Structure 1
Amino acid sequence: MTSQDKVSIKHAIPLFEGIDKFDEFQINRMCLVTGVTAGETILKRNDETTDVFLIIDGTVSVRDYSIDGKEVSYSEISTGGIFGEFAAIDGRPRSASIEAKTDATIASMSAKDFRKLIASDGAFGLRLAEHLVSKARGLSQRVFEYGALSVRQRLHAEILRLCDTEAANGEVCTISPAPSHYELATRIATHREAVTKELNRLVSQGIARLERRSITITDLPRLRRAVSGDDLA
């Protein structure tokens, strides 16, 4: 999929639904749709570009690297999501690098057109504000976890985040495909061996089951208690 003629960007991106003053054809004309391959770098931290990117299909990773090459993963954004909106709004350099986790189809929109959409529709502006607040809350939670929780608790918290919202309200959750142990380590600021050790511990406790590319949590309430401070025996 590489042509605006084959997709309605307005309908593909939930944040854009309900924009009244621009129809799907006008929004399509504002965008350039391209394909990227898994592993491809889409944006680099400190880039001075300001386009917004809309994920028509696929998943990207938001990450960064220290001077000595240590990888830190912030989040993943999948089909229907957007990235690059910070630079489009404040005009400052990119705050993180974006890499394609899977093959993906992505539309780019100039900051000028994105700001035109915001100015044209108060309801869209409110939804965007809610979207940005949600991102800020997520980052605040991670900062808290890095400062207040042990590596073990941070892993438990990350697993709970990966669980589907509906499943997470119950007893059991299956994460599939699950991140590798290395990927989990980059998300919680630790090393792969610590993740492997704790996942094996959860298995021995009867709380997790590991299969190829999947993690099943069989006792979500107990895992939640562990994050809140009631450590597992």
Structure 2
Amino acid sequence: MRYQDRAVLVTGGGSGIGRQVCRMAAAEGARVAVGDLDQARAEAVAAEIREAGGEAQGFAIDVTDPASVTAFVEGAETTLGRLDLLVNSAGIREIVSVLDLSPEEWQRVIAVNLTGTFLPSQAFARRLIAAGRTGQIVNLASTLGIMAAPNRAAYVASKHGVVGLTKEMALELGEKGIRVNAVAPGVIRTPMTERYFQDPEMSATIRGIHAMNRWGEPADIARAILFLGAEENGFMTGSVLTVDGGWTTGKKM
């Protein structure tokens, strides 16, 4: 198995894509640190993994707080015995016109999505370098990190920032043996987007904008993340892998 005895840390691991990454990494033999703002959710996912015969521990983490981030990385290293892969999956979004977006909402989305990618990555890389180890980081960008959509100014800005940060970290950390890549998902059915799918008209629209005539599921993205984090792909860094069912390929006329 690709991840046998490797330690995988996941922020936003209590639900959605992050939860699926935790479960699939564990199924491939990884020791998993499930990090989430809601510690109960993190511990619930870790319990699911242990019940299935895997190894996992839940942790509380506020990705916008440097002290919380450091405690998560150090706690994961102590518990799992090593560090190998960090997946930055924590994220939020707003739906409001750029004209009506409040400074507070702007700051909140930027803090979680962009700063919340930078801080765990920095703490993780520092620990790897101090230990003389190599490792991987995979960030959750978005198709809205390479294009735009209405009423999501902060989200679009933050995800474009994640794309840029991924490239910068890859450039700086490559000589240290740390690879940094990102996945840019299309529309994925998660708790954050679930309300779209409760509306039949919206569901049909979402299906229709994808070349493959379907939306994505968390497993679609988790597989891509674990592909990027696998040691067999050791010459990939600074890449942004689009996994969107053909959404950005072109419009159906």
Q: Could you tell me the TM-score, scaled by structure 2's length?
A: 0.23
Q: Could you tell me the TM-score, scaled by structure 1's length?
A: 0.25
Q: Identify the structure with the greater strand proportion.
A: 1
Q: Identify the structure with the greater helix proportion.
A: 2
Greater Rg, structure 1 or structure 2?
1
